[in-house]
Structure 1
Amino acid sequence: MNQSSPSLAELSALTLIVSHRSFRKAADELGLSASTLSHMMRTLEANLGVRLLNRTTRSVAPTPAGQRLVSRVTPLLREFELALEEVNEFRDLPSGSLRISASEPAARILLEAVLPEFLTRFAQMSVDLVTDGRLVDIVGEGFDAGIRLGESVPQDMIAVRLGPPTRFITVASPKYLANHPAPLTPDDLQRHQCISIRMPSGKPYRWEFEKHGQSLTVSTTGNLTLDNVEIMADAAARGLGIAYVPEHTVARYLADKCLIKVLDDWCSPGAGLYLYYPGHRHVPGGLRAFIEVIREMVDVA
């Protein structure tokens, strides 16, 4: 029986399944149903005459043949993408998709200024903006770029500042402060209900302070832990404790006097947000255009 050569779509789908170890996640990324993707893989296996994936009700993993195939075709698929991108360089305007991993606050900044201008100016581009609390491997998970606080950007990446330094501040509601004397030093936080934020790794985030060259890191106490700074701000405004959040996140609460700064003289600006991307590979035209818009539209002073 003659083997039918696999298509690029089938090989790309196989690499995604192996990368995610999941039909569902790969199907979501491809815009297909899991059953359609499973049928595609069974057809590929039948045409090649070899099993590529071991399936259980809870997981999927490559067979030795599947792993070898994926390891050989992954560089080829990347070269194919680069070839198409190089052809794209001859277009007057870039086209295609741009996939970006960002924290929620970073996504909001993009929505305020950068994305409206970018999508208007480059109408043939589309943007897939994925908000996730965890720091992802943008190369391994197929992103063109990521956006995170400067201190979280991997050292082997090229970074472009997305805004001014980010200042984290401690805030509480008038209701809370009416019943609890305001802390005068970071050490006083040990006697307060502090609204903690849990990092994607599962570890609580330690609050950092600085004054006159003296730096302090505080492990806070409290009976409420959240994983979203917007919800933390709302919880603090409801009198549930003191929160440590980016200043721009609580600007409207401060203006409305729903929240009050505490330990303000201990809160110093940090690194700020950066867009970053790998410097060891070709930079797509769409990403270069996106960076140009960032530099035009975002105040980094």
Structure 2
Amino acid sequence: MKQNFTVRHSALDGVEAFLNVAQHRSFRRAAAALGVTPSAISQSVRALEARLGAALLLRTTRSVGLTEAGERFLSRARPAFEELVAASEVARALGSRPTGLLRLAVPPGVVSVLLEPLIASFCQAYPEIEVEIAASGELIDLAAQGFDAGIRMGQFIAADMIALRLTPAFPFVVVGSPEYLVKRKGPERIDDLRQHACMRMRRSDGSIAPWRFVEGNRTVEAIVSGPLIAHDFPTLLGAAIRGLGLAHLPGPLARAPIAEGRLQAVMVPYAITVPGVFLYYPDRRQVLPKLRAFIDHMKRQSTTSDLRDDG
């Protein structure tokens, strides 16, 4: 089927030549400015006039002037061409050095655990890059929503993404505050959770996530109930620390409160292990310098021995 394009093939040919002739009022000086011959400039402008179907220049042996069509064309073409040149420079800069806006889609829990220690040093190391962090629990289409990269747990990343490991695999742990566990005997088996206030996570698709465990050689999903449903792990973490009930959390998020004595882990033998957290992006060939700089910075700053590309 025939396509109709707003800008026809070769529609810009000759425009730069015409703009230079109009500026210098001379084919010779325009040719010198562009580094070509006067004949080449003349041929280019004549071809442009032929395509437009109107004479743009008045030529005599002593001078060059503009026709009415040339004046009107110049008034519209000059700012448009300058914008096109500026756009080309911006694109060239983004493709040649670390600069521009780096947009990252991340779950809220990842910001404090992984990104806060890195963002300040990254911004200092690359002052021409602005970093925008969109903290959301939703699974985001990076390309459709204009993100350079995302950070997710490995099991939620599509197979066609390039993935860079940020953490080792880690367990999901059941935790409660010492105050809560004084009031109620801590659960020892999966069935014991029926007697406890278990806070839950609502997924981005609207469903309530079950608590998953390992029992022997099989995975078990427990349907629990309790006083709070949240959309992110930090909210569940805060509620658990305040004694509202038990929470099922990523191990790295609960590590510091457990070490500080604000939380206690229970049912440790049943903890399921997930693949870990990854930075992911669509295509290795489309990585602009700003994202490559961020990836390299994370590699340098990481203490994880198995930080690597998995795609």
**Bin of the TM-score, shorter chain as denominator length:** 0.5 to 0.7
Candidates 106, 112, 118, aligned match of 1:108: 112
Is residue 131 of structure 1 aligned with residue 135 of structure 2? yes
Candidates 209, 214, 227, aligned match of 2:231: 227
Q: Normalized against structure 2, the TM-score is what?
A: 0.65
Partner of 2:274: helix, strand, or coil? coil
Could you tell me which residue of structure 2 aligns to residue 292 of structure 1? 296
Could you tell me which residue of structure 2 aligns to residue 182 of structure 1? 186
Q: Contact 1:85–1:284 (CA<8 Å) still a contact in 2?
A: no
Q: C-alpha deviations, 1:30-82, integer Å up to 9, x for none?
A: xxxxxxxxxxxxxxxxxxxxxxxxxxxxxxxxxxxxxxxxxxxxxxxxxx989
1:288 shift after superposition: 0.8
Q: Normalized against structure 1, the TM-score is what?
A: 0.67
Change (3 A) 1:193 1:281: same
Could you tell me which residue of structure 2 aligns to residue 157 of structure 1? 161
Q: CA RMSD in A?
A: 2.5
1:225 shift after superposition: 1.2
Q: C-alpha deviations, 1:110-168, integer Å up to 9, x for none?
A: 43332222212211111111101111111110101111111111111101112222321
| Structure-2 separation of matches of 1:125 and 1:142 | 16
Aligned residue pair count: 222
Q: C-alpha deviations, 1:180-201, integer Å up to 9, x for none?
A: 2221122221222101111122
Partner of 2:151: helix, strand, or coil? strand
Candidates 215, 221, 227, aligned match of 1:217: 221
Is residue 141 of structure 1 aligned with residue 145 of structure 2? yes
Could you tell me which residue of structure 1 aligns to residue 266 of structure 2? 262
Change (3 A) 1:223 1:100: same
| Structure-2 separation of matches of 1:285 and 1:299 | 23
1:87 shift after superposition: 4.7
Larger Rg: 2
| Structure-2 separation of matches of 1:83 and 1:282 | 18
1:1-301 mapped onto 2 (5 Å cutoff): 84-90=90-96, 93-279=97-283, 282-301=286-305
Q: Contact 1:193–1:222 (CA<8 Å) still a contact in 2?
A: yes
Deviates more, 1:96-105 or 1:203-212: 203-212
Q: Contact 1:113–1:298 (CA<8 Å) still a contact in 2?
A: no
Partner of 1:100: helix, strand, or coil? strand
Q: Contact 1:138–1:146 (CA<8 Å) still a contact in 2?
A: yes
Change (3 A) 1:108 1:179: closer
| Structure-2 separation of matches of 1:82 and 1:195 | 53
Partner of 1:167: helix, strand, or coil? strand
1:218 shift after superposition: 1.2
Q: Contact 1:82–1:282 (CA<8 Å) still a contact in 2?
A: no
Identity of aligned residues (%): 31
